Amino acid sequence: MIRCPLCFNALTPERITWMATSGNAETDPVASSYYRTPVESRRMVASELKRERNNAVLIPSRAAAAAQVGSQVVEVCPSCHYRIPDGWRDSRTTCIAMAGARDTGKTVYVAVLIKTLQLLGERIGCVVEPNDQRTADIYHQHYEQTLYLQRKMLPPTASIDTAAPFQRDPLVFRLGHWNDRKQYLVIRDVAGEDLQNQRNIGQTWTEFFGNADGVVYMFDPLKVPSIAGQLRDLIPAQEAQEVAPITVLQTVLSMIGRRDPKLAVVLSKFDAMHELKNVVGTDWSSIMGNPGAGFSRDPSLIRGPYDNDDGELVDAEVRSLLVKLGAKSIIDAVDTPHTGARLPARFFAVSALGALPSGEQVHEGGISPFRCLDPARWILSGAGVWN
Ligand SMILES: Nc1nc2c(ncn2[C@@H]2O[C@H](COP(=O)(O)OP(=O)(O)OP(=O)(O)O)[C@@H](O)[C@H]2O)c(=O)[nH]1
Ligand SMILES: [Mg+2]
Ligand SMILES: [Zn+2]
């Protein structure tokens, strides 16, 4: 499947939209509603693939469209008018949308996921790199520099309704060739703030959740009072949650509507759960101290196809952990969604940092991710990539 990198709508050969590269530009209400800020567009021409005798021809052709508007043309998405990168239609795309309440670890996860994908890519002979300068700049400035170079935590992602949030543009990475096709991975990070605001349900800019190949919904165990209580000497006092995780999940499910992306439900900051094995005298210490559990080891960087059996094992384990955490409502919302559309779902346990941060600094032992690749590999394997 090939999808638009912004709205994630499928791009079919039957419809191609061209936009002039020079000439008058006017405010474009369609592009503005998807991009969530005023966008100006130049003249556009819509072409259709028509059957003529035994040939399929594009009418008007690119050259004819250019002649019509009197300048060169570039391809834009027929739905949201976002510029389609060169060579995009010869490739395959896998599109991932991040989701979850504020402070659940989405942006840190994206930062670390790219590094771990690069590590695995090296092992399987696929180079993972930004597809364009904008992705390279956004990733470097907003993810890598702070977390990996300054070794500091990242600021909260600003709402899409603020002046220039970096997450308005997708991150586009090349994943090398797979099955004789160029493969791209597109990730859209989201501000938890925007998912805590139910007024965003039904807004055009949220369409990408339903169109995605996979939605990664993060659940933060540190916000569970009994866990925070047991770790109170190790973690800073947790702010009370403004919006319950279940409400955020319902909001995301409403945004997905009747579409059917894969839903990865991720118990994030799993290093904190691992710490519980040191809290003596509680049943958490025996649960988390079980060396035979899938969540006690990380086989994700082993070369080879996505390990579905391991994925199913961890899914079952995380489901029982969520029950124990008093979060069964999350499981119920996934298994019997209020929208009536049950998604292909799987539960995961992930730690992007691998250890509790020391205040705003990365742990002095550095970043050592745990099972970070699992949700992404599950989604990629469903799209036939790195499987
Ligand atoms: N222990 C632990 N803490 C983490 C981990 N990942 C993130 N955190 C903590 O969670 C905080 C928030 O992480 P972010 O990735 O910025 O959260 P977010 O979900 O992007 O938040 P918004 O952008 O506000 O929606 C970080 O500053 C860390 O303190 C992890 O793997 N382990
Ligand atoms: Mg963020
Ligand atoms: Zn689009």
Question: Which pLDDT belongs to residue 234?
Answer: 78
Q: Is 78 helix (H, G, I), strand (E, B) or coil?
A: coil
In whole angstroms, give the CA distance from residue 197 to residue 242.
11
Least distant ligand from the CA of 110 = 1
Per the CB < 8 A criterion, the answer to whether 213 and 261 are in contact is yes
Residues 286 and 246 in one domain: yes
- Which protein residue has the closest C-alpha to ligand 1 atom 13? 105
Is residue 112 in some structural domain? yes
Residues 191 and 153 in one domain: yes
Is residue 10 in some structural domain? no
Least distant ligand from the CA of 154 = 1
Atom of ligand 1 nearest to the CA of 111: 15
Residues 127 and 275 in one domain: yes
Residues 71 and 93 in one domain: no
From the CA of 132, how far away is ligand 1's center (Å)? 26
Name residues whose C-beta falls within 8 Å of residue 271's C-beta, 6 or more positions apart in sequence. 351, 353, 354, 355, 356, 370
Cβ–ligand 1 contact at 107 (below 6 Å): yes
Atom of ligand 1 nearest to the CA of 157: 23
Question: Which pLDDT belongs to residue 232?
Answer: 81
Residues 58 and 194 in one domain: no
Residues 107 and 80 in one domain: no
- CB atoms under 10 Å from CB of 13, counted, come to 11
Least distant ligand from the CA of 191 = 1
Cβ–ligand 1 contact at 146 (below 6 Å): no
Is residue 43 in some structural domain? yes
Residues 264 and 177 in one domain: yes
Question: Which pLDDT belongs to residue 54?
Answer: 84
**303 has pLDDT over 90:** no
| Band of pLDDT at residue 257, cut at 50, 70 and 90 | very high
Q: Which of 84, 107, 128 is the last residue of a domain?
A: 84
CATH code of the domain containing 361:
3.40.50.300
Residues 142 and 182 in one domain: yes
Probe ligand 1: pick from 102, 103, 194, 361, max atoms within 8 Å of CB? 103
H/E run at residue 115? helix 106-124
From the CA of 38, how far away is ligand 2's center (Å)? 23
Q: Would you state the structure tokens that stand for residue 278, as one six-digit string?
A: 């040191």
Q: Which of 84, 99, 122 is the last residue of a domain?
A: 84
**163 has pLDDT over 90:** no
Residues 60 and 183 in one domain: no
- Which protein residue has the closest C-alpha to ligand 1 atom 3? 269
- CB atoms under 10 Å from CB of 275, counted, come to 20
* Mean of the per-residue pLDDT values of the chain: 94
Cβ–ligand 1 contact at 104 (below 6 Å): yes
| Band of pLDDT at residue 129, cut at 50, 70 and 90 | very high
Residues 313-359 pLDDT 10s: 999 999 999 999 889 999 999 999 999 999 999 999 999 999 999 98
Atom of ligand 1 nearest to the CA of 110: 15
Least distant ligand from the CA of 7 = 3
**165 has pLDDT over 80:** no
Query: What percent of the chain clears pLDDT 90, i.e. is strictly above it?
Result: 84
Residues 45-85 pLDDT 10s: 999 999 888 889 999 999 999 999 999 999 999 999 999 99
| Band of pLDDT at residue 278, cut at 50, 70 and 90 | confident
Say how many domains are in the chain.
2
Show the domain range for 58.
Answer: 15-84
In whole angstroms, give the CA distance from residue 135 to residue 187.
10
From the CA of 145, how far away is ligand 2's center (Å)? 15
**116 has pLDDT over 80:** yes
Question: Which pLDDT belongs to residue 52?
Answer: 83
- Predicted TM-score of the model (pTM): 0.97
User: In this structure, what are the phi and psi dihedrals at residue 92, rounded to the nearest 5 degrees?
Assistant: -125, 145
Query: Whats the size of the chain, residue-wise?
Result: 387
| Band of pLDDT at residue 88, cut at 50, 70 and 90 | very high
**Lowest-pLDDT range, 163-177, 263-277, 350-364?**
163-177
Residues 144 and 215 in one domain: yes
Residues 67 and 109 in one domain: no
Q: Is 74 helix (H, G, I), strand (E, B) or coil?
A: strand
Question: Which pLDDT belongs to residue 281?
Answer: 78
Cβ–ligand 1 contact at 192 (below 6 Å): yes
Is residue 387 in some structural domain? no
Measured over the CA atoms of residue 170, residue 175, residue 176 and residue 180, the dihedral's sign is: negative
Say which amino acid occupies 122.
E
- CB atoms under 10 Å from CB of 265, counted, come to 26
- CB atoms under 10 Å from CB of 173, counted, come to 25
**239 has pLDDT over 80:** no
Is residue 126 in some structural domain? yes
Q: Which of 84, 102, 121 is the last residue of a domain?
A: 84
**Lowest-pLDDT range, 21-25, 78-82, 234-238, 248-252?**
234-238
Is residue 328 in some structural domain? yes
Residues 225 and 287 in one domain: yes
Per the CB < 8 A criterion, the answer to whether 284 and 230 are in contact is yes
185: region left, alpha or beta (phi > 0 left; psi from -120 to 50 alpha): beta
List, in sequence order, every beta strand (DSSP E) within the chain: 15-20, 26-27, 40-41, 44-52, 55-59, 73-76, 91-100, 129-130, 171-178, 181-188, 214-219, 262-267, 345-349
